[in-house]
Structure 1
Amino acid sequence: MSLIPYLDEPAEVLIAGASRGIGLALCRTLLARDDVARVWAVSRRASEEAALAQLAAAYGERLQRLDCDARDEEQLATLGKTVAGHCPHLHLVLCSLGTLHQDGAVAEKSLAQLDLAGLHSSFASNAFAPILLLKHLMPLLRGQPSTFAALSARVGSIGDNRLGGWYSYRASKAALNQLLRSASIELARLNRQSTVLALHPGTTDTELSQPFQGNVPPGKLFEPEFTAQRLLALIAEHGPTDSGSFWAWDGQRIEW
């Protein structure tokens, strides 16, 4: 099965949030594939991260490390120009950016815990950064089969919200879903071979989930490598006719 539907050449792939957790596992998994020509690994300090340096030593020029804070639009604009200078087309962009309790964001349990700084931090990382990444990479997603996939979360589903809490995280992921849905419509007009997906990775053993892992049912806390494999399987299975949809790691469609 090809990396994305209808692709019949080695893929150029960009991973945002590539230095740790799911993003790093995606880099490892993709570099091990024969149908991936090159991986662009993007994070705030990609050039300094030891794990990415080890991959660069193993895979040489097939891994390109680029420093970019995706919450800074000037840096995103520079990123787009840099990649375009070496690569005429990206076949797959995977955005694993997101925060729950870092960088000023808080997993609020009540309205009393809400504040503007925490809301802004959640929306900046979980909604604004992914869609602005797509904005600045969109010229590279035209003319050939392409997929833009961003990590959302089941708790961003309004229809599935039965517990409340986590106000800013839930709301920012719901905003991301709407932004991706709108972008899928625009991109389809420009490239009928394009796909935009929102993906729920499941609870994965990363820094984001660590404070909450005690509540995870047995067998439902995944290793990053397993999550990476499941995400890539979802991407391979869903093409342009599914653009703008929201899927869970197990292949189940999630209601908005």
Structure 2
Amino acid sequence: MTLAWIPDGGEVLIQGASRGIGLEFVRQCLQAPQVGTVWATCRRPEAASALQGLAEGSGGRLRVLPLDVTDEASIEAAAATVQQAGGRLHLLVNAAGLLHDRQRGIRPEKRLEEVSAEALTELFRVNAIGPLLVARAFLPCLRHGEPAVWAAISARVGSIADNRKGGWYSYRASKAALNQLVRTLAVELERRAPRVTCAALHPGTTDTDLSAPFQAWVPAEQLFAPERTVRQLLAVIDGLRPADSGGLFSWDGQPIPY
């Protein structure tokens, strides 16, 4: 069973839990018998039917909160609720991410002429700035003297060293920014909260709404179901050590150069 390092009654928070990888993280964390409360956040809990269904069958272990990573006040409000409940988080996973939005005309850029300030700004807000604001707000819940992990879903395409195909300016840059923020956070927490390990995680191409428009070019054996992706990422999290803090790791546990 994964998460065996979390003590009995330890708590978990999944940010961006309404669907895809985040929702599957909630499912699998609920299956860990030693985990107490699982906190799940998303922009509109009332519209997250799958998440609400898990909550109804959780016997009170799953608590759902509104949190929009582009709304600083909502982040602070969610953190205040967890703190007031005495929440001691042993694992916090940032799973919300943005690659495309048809309604707003946001899509991965193939050429420089397709770059827009709107897309760059929005992807940075969701993919990079939001997770760091979550870290700031929830740090008091992670600083309890026991081992804890703060993780963010990143992407291999955010690696500058690995960029050989170009394109996808906004997504690549926002994930590269996230990786740098994770590294910088790890340096600070080594002094302030040395038992908190920070990591950026590359999940591989997963069968979710985020990757759906691009799956035609992905070999079947390289397209993971959310269940497999989360199982693999939890195994990576289980294997993290303090010396790994600040790193970017692939779904198979291999480090990826920034």
What is the TM-score with the length of structure 2 in the denominator?
0.95
Matched residue of 2:222: which SS?
coil
Judge which range, 143-152 or 12-21, deviates more.
143-152
What amino acid maps onto 2:121 in structure 1?
Answer: H
* Partner residue, 2:61: 62
Q: Report the identity percentage.
A: 47
Q: Does 1:128 align with 2:118?
A: no
What amino acid maps onto 1:115 in structure 2?
Answer: S
* CA displacement at 1:188 relative to structure 2: 1.8
Q: Does 1:204 align with 2:206?
A: yes
Q: Does 1:117 align with 2:121?
A: no
Q: Distance in 2 between matches of 1:118 and 1:223?
A: 28
Aligned CA RMSD, in angstroms, stands at 1.3
Q: C-alpha deviations, 1:73-111, integer Å up to 9, x for none?
A: 111111111110103411100000111012743200011
* Partner residue, 2:225: 223
* Partner residue, 2:8: 9
Alignment check: 8 A CA contact 2:14 2:40 kept: yes
Matched residue of 2:161: which SS?
coil
* CA displacement at 1:123 relative to structure 2: 0.5
Unpaired stretches in structure 2, ≥5 consecutive residues: none
* CA displacement at 1:47 relative to structure 2: 3.6
Alignment check: 8 A CA contact 2:206 2:226 kept: yes
1:94-173 to 2 correspondences below 5 Å: 94-102=93-101, 104=104, 105-143=106-144, 144-173=146-175
* CA displacement at 1:161 relative to structure 2: 0.3
Matched residue of 1:81: which SS?
helix
What is the TM-score with the length of structure 1 in the denominator?
0.96
Q: Distance in 1 between matches of 2:236 and 2:96?
A: 18
What amino acid maps onto 2:192 in structure 1?
Answer: L
What amino acid maps onto 2:54 in structure 1?
Answer: L
Unpaired stretches in structure 1, ≥5 consecutive residues: none
Tell which has more relative contact order, 1 or 2 (C-alpha 8 A, sep 6+): 1
What amino acid maps onto 1:188 in structure 2?
Answer: E
* Partner residue, 1:195: 197
State the aligned residue count: 255
Q: C-alpha deviations, 1:148-170, integer Å up to 9, x for none?
A: 00000000000000000000000
What amino acid maps onto 2:84 in structure 1?
Answer: G
